């Protein structure tokens, strides 16, 4: 019986790779809706838009890898249903594929801009989307980005770096304020303004009309190109229709097993019962896809594995590079501690909850993610003064 993986992204690709690396010799089928082999998504809003990455660099494996490893790759095919009783998946091609174990890695879909004319807005999720935006944001084009989150800011930075005039519209008083808090969010606001991006904050788009975007605060922005980056929705329809437990994604245990012991979930859709954090968590970032795919594959093989990676993501915007490790619950009220030069954009910021480090972000400071993770996993109160002191080694604080 075949091991079937549904999804065309990094999680799916790393899962089938792990099945073979772990010695599984049975048939493996990978089914993806897009008409290309699996690829990584971060370059879509970074290197590909900037033109610094070669198009072929985004793919997880070479075209030869799949036949060489006896993996049946069915690109351009959509799974329309999972019949758990018959243990088959049905496709839009009208055929059925039997499975012994099934992995769902169906990813997410960008939220459309819900205003009159919003269907004009480009959205970024696929390789084709990235190419379309890349073609649109060159030279003296007037670009309006709706959404001041990570994707919106990355697209804005890439467009501005390529010479476009860029306006960013955000619903909060500062970009990323809901994630980072005002003090650190101000760093990103200052960064974009210093590079010529115009921010329109604490407002929303009301309509896209011809070559303009009308805002709720009364402003009207000239727009040759409108790009929406207002979040994504996990693709859980297949799982829900199959009767799997779904709540803010597909509910899975520490082994990434769904409510059906023969079906697993990875990537954006997986709402994992995280053993370290002590609750379910769903994270829509590259590292989640990278790390959940292999764990799910090992679980499919019957191995006693646990997914306990801390959330991690990174961004590159203009001359700022950063990595973020950890998790701060949305209802938490953390204390922010900064080590380094905030104004010079070379620092580490920490979010403390109940005196313990819940997350850390290193900005233009490198090779410290392991120390930050150790501080988080120490799960004990840390002296904020010592944490802020560059003269105190981070490794010593975790001991």
The CATH number covering residue 266 comes to 3.50.50.60
Do 180 and 130 lie in one domain? The reply is yes
Residue 43 resides in a domain: yes
Do 275 and 341 lie in one domain? The reply is no
Do 128 and 213 lie in one domain? The reply is yes
Do 223 and 145 lie in one domain? The reply is yes
| pLDDT at 36 (0 to 100) | 95
Which of 240, 271, 300 is the C-terminal boundary of a domain? 300
| pLDDT at 51 (0 to 100) | 79
Which of 206, 228, 250 is the C-terminal boundary of a domain? 228
Residue 269 resides in a domain: yes
| pLDDT at 252 (0 to 100) | 98
Number of domains comprising the chain = 3
Domain containing residue 13: 3-109+232-300
| pLDDT at 138 (0 to 100) | 85
Do 123 and 224 lie in one domain? The reply is yes
Do 205 and 127 lie in one domain? The reply is yes
- Tens-digit pLDDT string for the chain (399 aa): 789 999 999 999 999 999 999 999 999 999 999 999 999 998 888 888 887 888 889 999 999 999 999 999 999 999 999 999 999 999 999 999 999 999 999 999 999 999 999 999 999 999 999 999 999 998 889 999 999 999 999 999 999 999 999 999 999 999 999 999 999 999 999 999 999 999 999 999 999 998 999 999 999 999 999 999 999 999 999 999 999 999 999 999 999 999 999 999 999 999 999 999 999 999 999 999 999 999 999 999 999 999 999 999 999 999 999 999 999 998 899 999 999 999 999 999 999 999 999 999 999 999 999 999 999 999 999 999 999 999 999 999 977
User: What CA–CA distance (Å, rounded) separates 263 from 256?
Assistant: 9
Residue 339 resides in a domain: yes
| pLDDT at 54 (0 to 100) | 84
Instruction: Specify the CATH number for the domain of residue 337.
Output: 3.30.390.30
Residue 352 resides in a domain: yes
Residue 60 resides in a domain: yes
Do 100 and 121 lie in one domain? The reply is no
Do 31 and 98 lie in one domain? The reply is yes
| pLDDT at 260 (0 to 100) | 98
Contacts of 288 (CB under 8 A, 6+ apart): 11, 267, 268, 270, 309, 311
3 state SS of 167: strand
Residue 307 resides in a domain: no
Do 190 and 95 lie in one domain? The reply is no
Residue 271 resides in a domain: yes
Q: Could you please report the per-residue DSSP string of 190-253?
A: HHHHHTTPEEE-S--EEEEETTEEEETTS-EEE-SEEEE---EEE--HHHHHTT--BSSSEEE-
Do 180 and 122 lie in one domain? The reply is yes
The predicted-structure confidence for 211-259, as pLDDT tens digits, reads as follows 999 999 999 999 999 999 999 999 999 999 999 999 999 999 999 999 9
Reference 266, options 235, 241, 242; nearest CA is: 235
pTM: 0.95
| pLDDT at 111 (0 to 100) | 96
| pLDDT at 241 (0 to 100) | 98
User: What CA–CA distance (Å, rounded) separates 137 from 122?
Assistant: 11
Which whole-number Å values give the CA distances from 349 to 337, 357, 368, in the listed order?
A: 6, 10, 12
| pLDDT at 69 (0 to 100) | 98
Which of 251, 269, 300 is the C-terminal boundary of a domain? 300
Residue 190 resides in a domain: yes
User: What CA–CA distance (Å, rounded) separates 22 from 94?
Assistant: 32
Do 137 and 203 lie in one domain? The reply is yes
User: What CA–CA distance (Å, rounded) separates 302 from 196?
Assistant: 54
Instruction: Quote the longest CA-to-CA distance of the chain.
Output: 65
User: What CA–CA distance (Å, rounded) separates 134 from 3?
Assistant: 37
Crossing angle of the two packed helices 150-161 and 182-194, in degrees rounded to 10? 20
Do 153 and 224 lie in one domain? The reply is yes
Tell me how far the alpha carbon of residue 308 is from its chain's centroid. 17
């Amino acid at each position: 019986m075949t091991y079937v993986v549904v999804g065309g992204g990094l999680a799916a690709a790393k899962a089938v790779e792990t099945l073979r690396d772990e010695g599984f010799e049975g048939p493996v089928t990978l089914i993806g809706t897009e008409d290309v082999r699996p690829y990584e998504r971060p370059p879509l809003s970074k290197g590909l838009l900037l033109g610094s990455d070669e198009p072929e660099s985004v793919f997880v494996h070479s075209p030869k890898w799949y036949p060489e490893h006896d993996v049946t790759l069915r690109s351009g095919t959509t799974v329309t249903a999972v019949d758990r009783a018959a243990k088959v998946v049905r496709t839009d091609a009208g055929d059925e594929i039997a499975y012994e174990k099934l992995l769902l890695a169906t990813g997410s879909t960008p939220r459309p801009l819900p205003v009159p004319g919003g269907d004009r807005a480009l959205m970024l999720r696929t390789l084709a989307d990235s190419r379309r935006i890349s073609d649109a944001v060159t030279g003296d084009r007037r670009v309006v980005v709706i959404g001041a989150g990570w994707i919106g800011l990355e697209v804005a930075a890439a467009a501005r770096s390529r010479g476009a005039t860029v306006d960013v519209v955000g619903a909060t008083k500062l970009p990323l304020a809901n994630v980072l808090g005002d003090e650190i969010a101000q760093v990103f606001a200052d960064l974009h303004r210093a590079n010529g991006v115009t921010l329109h904050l604490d407002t929303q788009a009301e309509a896209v009309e011809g070559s303009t975007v009308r805002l709720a605060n009364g402003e009207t922005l000239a727009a040759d190109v409108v790009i929406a980056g207002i979040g994504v929705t996990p693709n859980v329809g297949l799982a829900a229709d199959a009767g799997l437990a779904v709540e803010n994604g597909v509910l899975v245990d520490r082994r990434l097993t769904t409510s059906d012991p023969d079906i697993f979930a990875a990537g954006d859709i997986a709402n994992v019962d995280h053993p370290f954090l002590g609750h379910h968590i769903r994270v829509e970032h590259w590292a989640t896809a990278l790390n959940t795919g292999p764990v799910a594959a090992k679980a499919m093989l019957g191995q006693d594995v646990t997914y306990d990676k801390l959330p991690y993501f990174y961004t590159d915007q203009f001359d700022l590079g950063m990595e973020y490790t950890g998790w701060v619950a949305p209802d938490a009220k953390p204390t922010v501690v900064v080590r380094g030069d905030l104004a010079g954009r070379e620092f580490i910021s920490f979010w403390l909850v109940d005196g313990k480090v819940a997350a850390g972000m290193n900005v233009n400071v490198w090779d410290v993610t392991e120390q930050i993770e150790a501080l988080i996993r120490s799960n004990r109160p840390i002296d904020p003064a010592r944490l802020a002191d560059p003269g105190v080694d981070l490794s010593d604080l975790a001991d």
